[in-house]
Structures are given as C-alpha cells and as structure tokens.
Amino acid sequence: MKRPNILLTGTPGVGKTTLGKELATRAGLTYINVGDLAKEGELYEGFDEEYECPILDEDRVIDELEDKMSEGGIIVDYHGCDFFPERWFHIVFVLRTENSFLYDRLESRGYKGKKLQDNIQCEIFQTIYEEAMLSYKEEIVHQLPSNTPEDLERNLDQITQWIEQWMKDNN
Ligand code: DAT
C-alpha cells in the first residue's frame, strides 16, 4: 500500500509537533521530528554562537532519512524546508500563527531577547512560507492557520481527508 509523505514546516512554536504527532496517530503514519533526530544522532556540524544552537548537518540528516522516505507514510516536522530533496514530499503544510499567540508560546518555552525577536520576525516576514514556495511546486504548498485548538482540529480533519483521498488515488 502506497502512503504519502507530508512535510510540516513553519516558525518554531507554530504547532508542528502538536499537529504532527496527533496526525500520525489518527492516520497511522510515522512522525519524525528532525530536531530530535539530529539530537539523537548528533547530526551537527558546528555551533552557532549567535543563536546559541548547534548547526544541523543537512547531508547527514538526508542520509539518515532517505530509506524511510522512499517507503512513504512519513510526517516530517522541521522549522526549515529548503534542504530536503523536493521529490520526498507529496504535500507541504506551512503552519502560521498570529504574533500575539506566537509570542506567548515562545516566551513560555523560555525564549527571550534576540532569539524571541528573531523568531517573531521570521513569522511576520513569512520567511518559511517563502522558503517553501521556492523549494517545492507551488501547488503542493499550503498555509494552515494555527492559532487556536479549533484550528488544530480543523487542520487534523482536512489533512486526514487529504491522506484518505491520496491513498484512494494511488493504490
Ligand atoms: P512547534 O513544533 O511548531 O515548535 P509545538 O507543537 O511545540 O510547536 O507548539 C507550541 C505550543 O503551542 C505548545 O505549547 C502547544 C501550543 N499549540 C500548538 N498548536 C496550537 C493551536 N492550534 N492552538 C493553541 N495552542 C497550540
């Protein structure tokens, strides 16, 4: 049975993990958090002093995921999207959150100062949406509002329906 690969992307704090895990449970797909994968495998190539975070070794991340992706049925969660092979994904969702909500979420995650401001700006300038539009065919890139629990529920319903339809069309 063929199953689709889905990319969930967007600024940190928009709700990718929350949506991805629940979607995986409901649709019987596998959820992969690229940040966690990198941490577990130490897939880093240095340290960014300005942002105080390790720098992802993108090539090793791709090598690590390649076999799983070719099997299908994977939900990938990451706050960037331009280094994955375009052929991996059947659909790309960019989650979007209004500033006031995002600010509160990032603050309660312990973000402050420059890191907090930069992430809010990333969302204001729709950086990840533009990155997605440049990296994938425009017709497979969709923005999803992710402000409230109602948004989450609607997104889950819509994506679950899309997966069912995709499986009908491709099997
Ligand atoms: P991300 O994986 O994009 O960094 P997350 O899933 O960890 O984001 O969510 C960040 C916080 O926001 C977390 O406390 C859960 C909450 N959240 C996620 N989606 C939400 C939604 N649609 N409505 C309200 N809160 C949400």
Which range of residues forms the domain containing residue 51? 6-164
**Are the beta carbons of 96 and 151 closer than 8 angstroms?**
no
Interatomic CA distance for residues 137 and 86, integer angstroms:
9
pTM: 0.97
Q: Is 39 annotated as a binding residue?
A: no
> Any idea what the CATH number is for the domain that residue 63 is in?
3.40.50.300
* Domains: count for the chain: 1
pLDDT by 10-residue block (mean), the chain, 171 residues: 97 98 98 98 93 92 98 98 98 98 98 94 97 98 98 98 98 97
pLDDT at 53: 85
Q: Is 152 in the pocket of ligand 1 (CB under 6 A)?
A: yes
pLDDT, position 74: 98
The rounded Å distance from CA 22 to ligand 1 centre is: 12
Does residue 140 lie in a domain region? yes
Predicted confidence at residue 121, as pLDDT, reads 97
Burial label, 70 (beta-carbon count in 10 A; 0-12, 13-18, 19+)? exposed
Is position 170 within any domain? no
